[in-house]
Amino acid sequence: MKTLKILSNQNKLYSETTSEAFYRDEQSDFSIRMVTRGTEEYTLNNKTINVFPGYFLVLNDGTSYQRKIYTDGLSNTFSVQFSKRFLADYNRSLSCDDTALMDMPFDDANTPPGFYETLYPLKNDLMFTLLHLKDHFEKKADNELLLNEYLYHSLLLFYQVQHKEVLINSRRLNFVKPCTRNELFKRLNQVKDYMISNCNQAISVEELSKVACLSECHLYKLFKDLYHCSPHQYLLKIRLNRAKTLLNDTNYPINEIIGMIGFENASSFIRLFKRNYEITPQNYRAKNLA
């Protein structure tokens, strides 16, 4: 089932529930794309990114992509797309003072900004806001002012996430030349996206090194600088987080979940889960069901 709503300011809301879909040669406005159940695969700029619950993908205005859903059960996806004008106007309201905004309230020459097209963590205020927006949208709320209020807050919160995940984090890479820092940050983001997208499979350091086009030792050092942990520890965090989501949102037996998140050994999974969250997976699920 697909639902699309185009607001009068050309912002769009889209949700889809299906187990099988394939869309080739798509193009979008600036958009935030999330999955509340299952997974959705995007291919853009010669890379493949899987969106799982707990993350969202950002696409810039004009980006070409293809997306597909092939899952055992149903996948539920939701995206918000901001018109060029809305985004440019929001961006201008942040960068100009009130006098300039009053003197020239409608500046159509203003171009919208571009962002890193990567996976961002979906949690806290942005997650709550998008889930409320999705809920209103699916209940067919037709009050555009209310929907735009949520869209405005979603954008505001996305800017905060982007500020932290990109601007603040990239400063941890200590390079004099901004172009070197930006290039390395981009490559490390590709490594991060690769790990999230393929967390259900065995991932070797050699693979990551190829994704980043960096030697293994260079990658290890830079990754530690940026994320304050090794690639292996980061992958472990992704897998345990994914296990939490699957324990919460599905009825899959724990043994099946262990396979779905790329663990080979049940006892090491249970031990690591308990060490990280101070509760066993069985008790975690029982506690959330109660």
Partner 1 sequence: MMITDGQKHQQPVLIYTNDCLSDYFELKTSGIHFIHGPQYTPQGLMVEFTDSQGNYYKILEERSYESDQ
136 is a site residue for partner 1 (CB under 8 A) = yes
Q: Which of 50, 129, 189, 209 binds partner 1 (CB under 8 A)?
A: 129
Which amino acid makes up residue 229? C
149 is a site residue for partner 1 (CB under 8 A) = yes
Q: Considering only 66-74, 142-150, 189-197, 250-258, which stretch makes contact with partner 1 by CB under 8 A?
A: 142-150
Tokens read off for 235: 């992958």
DSSP string, 178-213: HHHHHHHHHHHHHHHHHHHHTTTS---HHHHHHHHT
232 is a site residue for partner 1 (CB under 8 A) = no
Q: Considering only 27-35, 37-45, 93-101, 149-157, which stretch makes contact with partner 1 by CB under 8 A?
A: 149-157
Q: Which of 6, 146, 213, 279 binds partner 1 (CB under 8 A)?
A: 146
Q: Considering only 106-114, 121-129, 216-224, 262-270, which stretch makes contact with partner 1 by CB under 8 A?
A: 121-129
163 is a site residue for partner 1 (CB under 8 A) = no
> Who contacts 115 (Cβ-Cβ below 8 Å, separation ≥6)?
30, 58, 60, 162, 166
User: Cβ-count burial of 274 within 10 angstroms (0-12 exposed, 13-18 middle, 19+ buried)?
Assistant: middle
CA angle in degrees (0–180, nearest 5) for 63-156-58: 25
> Who contacts 111 (Cβ-Cβ below 8 Å, separation ≥6)?
88
125 is a site residue for partner 1 (CB under 8 A) = yes
Q: With H, G, I as helix, E, B as strand and everything else as coil, classify residue 85.
A: helix
Q: How far is the CB of 149 from partner 1 (least distance, A)?
A: 6
Backbone angles phi, psi at 176, to 5 degrees: -70, -45
Q: Considering only 19-27, 124-132, 171-179, 209-217, which stretch makes contact with partner 1 by CB under 8 A?
A: 124-132
Do 6 and 12 contact (CB within 8 A), yes or no?
yes
Strand 64-82 versus strand 40-44 pairing type: antiparallel
With b meaning 16 or more CB within 10 Å and e meaning fewer, what string describes 64-78? Answer: ebebebebeeebbbb
Q: Which of 85, 153, 187, 274 binds partner 1 (CB under 8 A)?
A: 153
User: Cβ-count burial of 7 within 10 angstroms (0-12 exposed, 13-18 middle, 19+ buried)?
Assistant: middle
287 is a site residue for partner 1 (CB under 8 A) = no
Q: Which is nearer to partner 1, 124 or 283 (CB)?
A: 124
Q: How far is the CB of 140 from partner 1 (least distance, A)?
A: 14
Site string for partner 1, 178-197 (x = CB under 8 A): --------------------
120 is a site residue for partner 1 (CB under 8 A) = no
Q: Which of 10, 27, 45, 124 binds partner 1 (CB under 8 A)?
A: 124
CA angle in degrees (0–180, nearest 5) for 58-63-64: 120
Q: How far is the CB of 281 from partner 1 (least distance, A)?
A: 18
In angstroms, rounded to a whole number, what is the distance separating the alpha carbons of residues 243 and 260?
A: 8
172 is a site residue for partner 1 (CB under 8 A) = no
Q: How far is the CB of 14 from partner 1 (least distance, A)?
A: 21
Q: Which positions lie near partner 1, rule CB under 8 A?
A: 123-125, 128-129, 132, 135-136, 143, 145-146, 149-150, 153, 164
